[in-house]
Structure 1
Amino acid sequence: MKTTLYYRIVLVSFLFTSSLTSAYAFQKDKNKFVVVIDAGHGGHDSGNIGNGHKESTIALNIALRVGEELQKNNDVKVIYTRKKDVFVTLRGRAKIANDADADLFVSIHCNAHHSQASGTETFVLGVANTKRNMEIAKKENEVIFLEADYEKHYEGFDPNSPESLITLSFLQEEYTENSIKLARMVEDNFEKDLKRKSRGLKQASLWVLHNTYMPSVLIEVGFLTNNAEGKFLNTKAGQTKMASGIKKAIFDYKTYIEQNVGEDIYQGSGIDTDRIEISGESQIIKNVVFKVQISASSKEIAPKSYNFKGLTEISREKAGSIYKYYHGYTSDYIKIKQMQSSALSKGYKDCFVVAYKDGNKIDVSEAIKSASN
């Protein structure tokens, strides 16, 4: 099998992360919408201390208020990465979310700048790093250096290297569209409902986002270094107000997902397999099963050909309150790519290939890698 430069980058990134996170160590409550709330920093990592205000404390207060509000809805389960002033590693935060098989990961932070800059920003993972976004990424990723044995756990990753930052984006690609959807809702609520200044949705290569296997955002609720904004965020009223905006965005997102009946929910593939060169008439990968996810819906639809534009080999799987629908079931990677092309021709423009090994979902890159071993 020929391998492109893109595949090499993805493979390096996969090898780097595969030893750090074991997803799905336990199953989430299938009847709940699971949200992991991550209060940034903590313990010996105070974050920024603009105007004497402590980021780790403010982020924790807001996170707890968001969680309290969410838990008033019986359909929502909240998991915190921390509930007190303790240090949690970046890989530990991601592992909590992955082990919970969460529907959302929301990380809360406070910003800082040498000027009187102000406003909220919500980040999703991406390679569209402006100079300012690169600074944010470096600042948040450098928390790695506060961890014991960071060289062992993050071997080969340099928070100050643009090349390292670029590789972070590939493994979260599957969830980018939904992450952007949530981020827009957060910023819209801040600006329109709370009348706060919004600096908009941004993309940056943030380590804590790249290793979570669900839609994920990092919210900067404002600049502690701005005199007025810092003072506001350091009050109970200010923290409650910002928490209300985040809570509302999460509920808006949940409603959006549940109301997209019959439409694609997860858009784009975790690995863009169209960029991986393949050759030959078949490529059987032992012990691996490939399927094409064609849609996801809150409505249970009979997995019959006539319900899916004539596509055959339809299967259905429930994840939380969402039903996912698949086309195909094969260990032949080339055949599944052909089936993906067929689904695309039927109008399922956002369909993508998924892979399973021993009944557990794995990255497509891992499946492909196993073929060359």
Structure 2
Amino acid sequence: MKFVIDWGHGGSDPGAVGNGLREKDLTMKIGKMIGDMLGEYEGVQVIYTRTDDRYLSLEERAEIANKAGADFFLSVHINAGGGTGFESYVYNGNVSQATIAYQNVIHQEIMKAIGNVRDRGKKRANYAVLRETRMPALLTENLFIDNPSDATKLKSEQFLLQIAHGHAQGIVKAFGLKKKTKQQPQPKVSDKKLYRVQVGAFSDRKNAEKLAEELKKKGYPVYIVG
């Protein structure tokens, strides 16, 4: 499964600004966290529209997803305008039933993860990244940067992890992803219990040395006492 994660804004476009925060910085943090979390699941390929602080047009972002043949497109944003809470968007034109189903599941998981935050609802809009992408696409608005209470939450690394966890778990649930099985580490030689074997005593040292050489050839640690 190919998932494209779009970190909203970037470069010369800081996005919304308020309370000492910039949208482009927050979306980069949250988006990278989501990608890292999804990387723990089988058959998942995560593609970012940008991997650093650079400007991309909305059309370029959609084109990255289209060229990749992505199964799902997620655009992460922070809201502004004096409100509070979380909301999600799909395209307000003709969308598949899968798109609606994904929005329902992911929206619910995000709200569960972020706790006591106002749910502003599942919405539709004519946003370019939703309109121009040729696969199910979702845009999320994660609290309001110009609301002091919301901004306090957004300044918390723990809260950003909760936002990311909600997005990742929503995608996991929507697409039925399975966690990668972790291989058990092989024990080091020093971790193994070693047993000492005494094969006997020889009156003739040459006989002892001969047996010792044979055992060494087979990889056994051997030493002669006496």
**What is the TM-score of this pair, normalised by structure 2?**
0.75
Counterpart CA distance in 2 for 1:234 and 1:42 is 19
| Runs ≥4 residues deviating over 6 A | none
Report the Cα offset of residue 181 of structure 1.
1.5
Alignment of 1:287-306 (within 5 A): none
Report the Cα offset of residue 51 of structure 1.
1.8
2:6 maps to 38
The answer to whether residue 25 in structure 2 is matched with residue 57 in structure 1 is: yes
Contact 2:110 2:165 in 1 (8 A): no
Contact 1:55 1:109 in 2 (8 A): yes
CA RMSD of aligned residues (A): 1.6
The answer to whether residue 109 in structure 2 is matched with residue 189 in structure 1 is: yes
Structure 1 pair 176–230 and aligned structure 2 pair: CA distance change class (3 A)? farther
One-letter amino acid of the counterpart of residue 221, structure 1:
N
Structure 1 pair 51–36 and aligned structure 2 pair: CA distance change class (3 A)? same
Report the Cα offset of residue 197 of structure 1.
2.3
**Secondary structure of the corresponding residue to residue 222 of structure 1:** strand
Report the Cα offset of residue 235 of structure 1.
2.4
Report the Cα offset of residue 206 of structure 1.
0.4
2:66 maps to 98
Counterpart CA distance in 1 for 2:36 and 2:143 is 21
Counterpart CA distance in 2 for 1:34 and 1:75 is 9
**Secondary structure of the corresponding residue to residue 241 of structure 1:** helix
Aligned length in residues: 177
2:56 maps to 88
Structure 1 pair 226–176 and aligned structure 2 pair: CA distance change class (3 A)? farther
Counterpart CA distance in 1 for 2:40 and 2:113 is 21
The answer to whether residue 32 in structure 2 is matched with residue 68 in structure 1 is: no
One-letter amino acid of the counterpart of residue 133, structure 2:
T
Report the Cα offset of residue 49 of structure 1.
0.2
Report the Cα offset of residue 215 of structure 1.
0.2
Contact 2:130 2:138 in 1 (8 A): yes
Q: Which has the higher contact order (CA 8 A, sep 6+)?
A: 2
**Secondary structure of the corresponding residue to residue 240 of structure 1:** helix
| Residue 153 (structure 2) aligned to one of 232, 236, 244 | 232
**Secondary structure of the corresponding residue to residue 176 of structure 2:** helix
Counterpart CA distance in 1 for 2:96 and 2:124 is 10
2:88 maps to 122
2:197 maps to none
Counterpart CA distance in 2 for 1:184 and 1:222 is 18
**Secondary structure of the corresponding residue to residue 19 of structure 2:** helix
One-letter amino acid of the counterpart of residue 199, structure 1:
R
Contact 1:125 1:176 in 2 (8 A): no
**Secondary structure of the corresponding residue to residue 46 of structure 1:** coil
Once the two structures are superposed, residues 180-218 of structure 1 have per-residue CA deviations (whole angstroms, 9 ceiling, x without a partner) of 222222221132343132111001110111110000010
Counterpart CA distance in 2 for 1:253 and 1:58 is 25
1:294 maps to none
One-letter amino acid of the counterpart of residue 101, structure 2:
K
Contact 1:123 1:204 in 2 (8 A): yes
**Secondary structure of the corresponding residue to residue 94 of structure 1:** helix
Report the Cα offset of residue 119 of structure 1.
0.7
Report the Cα offset of residue 225 of structure 1.
1.2
Give the gaps of 5 or more residues in structure 2.
179-226
Give the gaps of 5 or more residues in structure 1.
1-32, 127-168, 259-373
One-letter amino acid of the counterpart of residue 118, structure 1:
T
Counterpart CA distance in 2 for 1:82 and 1:208 is 14
Counterpart CA distance in 2 for 1:210 and 1:230 is 30
The answer to whether residue 174 in structure 2 is matched with residue 253 in structure 1 is: yes
2:100 maps to 180
The answer to whether residue 128 in structure 2 is matched with residue 207 in structure 1 is: yes
1:305 maps to none
Query: Which entry has the higher C-alpha Rg, 1 or 2?
Result: 2
2:76 maps to 108
Counterpart CA distance in 2 for 1:177 and 1:50 is 37
